[in-house]
Amino acid sequence: MKHPASQAFFRYWDAARGLADAPSRRDFDPGPVRGLLGDSFVLACDGRRGHPIRMAGTRVCALFGRDLKGEGFASLWDGAGRGRIEELITIVANESQPLVAGVTACPEGAQSGRLALELLLLPLQGESAGMASVAGLLAPLTAIDPTEKLRRLGLTGWRYLNRQPAPRPGRQARHWRVAHGITLFQADGGSAGHPK
């Protein structure tokens, strides 16, 4: 990840997940990352509707010059990238696999001068099966004139992020010598029985 906002958002997501593959939506409290919310969004995992945007931050909406809530996220992408981004969102959600991608965009009315952005997609578990969603962040890597509105987005590359394994509690073994040559072992603090 190149952008500091992407790094900070990922660190918060990684901490929020605890021992799980991904945090639940209710455990993903936006308070600690309040300063990043303008660049963030949440997608519904509904491929038939192009993964509708449930929430989009003010800076993300400003990039396109409109409120994006309710629009299909896939509709923001060029023809070549549309099917690919739908596939990547499905993998992120179904396999709890975070992803970072390079993105280009061209301002409306411009013939060239593509702008670089960084996209981060992070899985969120739903309250019930089949209700997963994806939190994301779209941050410019180059200066963008606030009066320019972006047209379609394009993918330049992506990679899945290697998560550090969630910390697991260590096992502690205790042992008692009950007779010559016989030792009882107990794991995880339970009680050990004595032979009769």
Count of beta carbons in the 10 Å neighbourhood of residue 114? 13
Query: Could you tell me whether strands 182-187 and 40-44 are parallel, antiparallel, or unpaired per DSSP bridges?
Result: unpaired
Whether 196 has a pLDDT exceeding 80, the answer reads no
Residue 89 is predicted with a pLDDT of: 96
Nearest alpha carbon to residue 106 among 97, 96, 116, 98 = 116
What DSSP string runs through 87-139? HHHHHHHHTT--EEEEEEEEETT-SS--EEEEEEEEEEB-SSTT--EEEEEEE
Q: At the topology level of CATH, where does 4-160 sit?
A: Beta-Lactamase (3.30.450)
pLDDT tens digit sequence for 113-154: 588 999 999 999 876 655 689 999 999 998 888 788 888 899
Predicted model pTM: 0.79
Domain range summary for the chain, segments of one domain joined by +: 4-160
pLDDT tens digit sequence for 44-87: 988 889 999 999 999 999 999 999 999 999 999 988 889 999 99
Residue 194 is predicted with a pLDDT of: 47
pLDDT tens digit sequence for 151-183: 889 999 999 987 655 555 555 555 455 556 665
